[in-house]
Amino acid sequence: EIVLTQSPGTLSLSPGERATLSCRASQSVISSYLAWYQQKPGQAPRLLIYGATSRATGIPDRFSGSGSGTDFTLTISRLEPEDFAVYYCQQYGSSLTFGPGTKVDIK
Amino acid sequence: QVQLVQSGAEVKKPGASVKVSCKASGYTFTSYYMHWVRQAPGQGLEWMGVINPSGGSATYAQKFQGRVTMTRDTSTSTVYMDLSSLRSEDTAVYYCARGGIAVAGNQDYWGQGTLVTVSS
């Protein structure tokens, strides 16, 4: 099973700042089948990025994904108030696993 | 528009079974895989398995093998997740989520979630 590790566990930032979230896999992710989800309290997760770099429908361009192999990054270029949430990475190339999540909270 | 509507909250005793439904609309039901993901209170997301509504075949996460069964009814565009031998650690919100077309894939639409509480 591919294990995903996310860092940091919590990221404290102010609106307007840049957020950089990391996701590392225990082995190479097949075909860059790596996705990122955003989850707010009491809500279902929302797909942000798939295929490591492609934005899902309706996702603002301040969200971007990069990486390949075992190292992936989600970048939020300028944090908006609605972006404070928990972010999960997921690999779906070999079975399916989620990372433990990174909480982005207001500094 | 794509919608996934799940059944309501359940309270079960340890050892019992629960069956959660997920009714799909707004797309061709048999063209997309359907996943089940759960989330214990205050915890992260855990993948349980995926079903191909076209043929009905399902793949389960190893952790749930032997305890979970995923089925579908094409006449009502509904998928079901049946979890047996419930224990307190199964208390969680259970989500269905639409997957890909040719492969299980990522999940682009999610149901609203169903809270299952296991308590004596």
pLDDT digits (tens, 9 = 90+) for B55-114: 999 999 999 999 999 999 999 999 999 999 999 999 999 999 999 887 888 999 999 999
pLDDT attached to residue A100: 98
State percent of chain A over pLDDT 70. Answer: 100
Question: How many other CB atoms sit within 10 Å of the CB of residue B45?
Answer: 23
User: Average of pLDDT values for A80-85?
Assistant: 97
Does residue B53 surpass a pLDDT of 80?
A: yes
Classify residue B89 by its DSSP letter: G
As a whole number, mean pLDDT of residues B4-26 equals 98
Task: Give dist(CA A29, CA A100) in Å, integer.
Answer: 17
Contact criterion met (CB < 8 Å) for B44 and A37: no
Q: What pLDDT does residue A54 have?
A: 96
The dihedral built from the CA positions of residue B22, B27, B33 and B38, taken in this order, carries a sign that is negative
pLDDT of residue A88: 98
Q: Is A50 on the interface with B (CB under 8 A)?
A: yes
Residues of B in contact with A95 (CB under 8 A): 47, 59, 61
Q: Which helix (H) or strand (E) holds B78?
A: strand B78-83
Looking at the partner chain, which of A44, A92, A96 has a beta carbon nearest the beta carbon of B95?
A44
Closest approach of A49 to chain B, Cα-based (Å): 9
Give me the residues paired with residue B20 across strands. B81
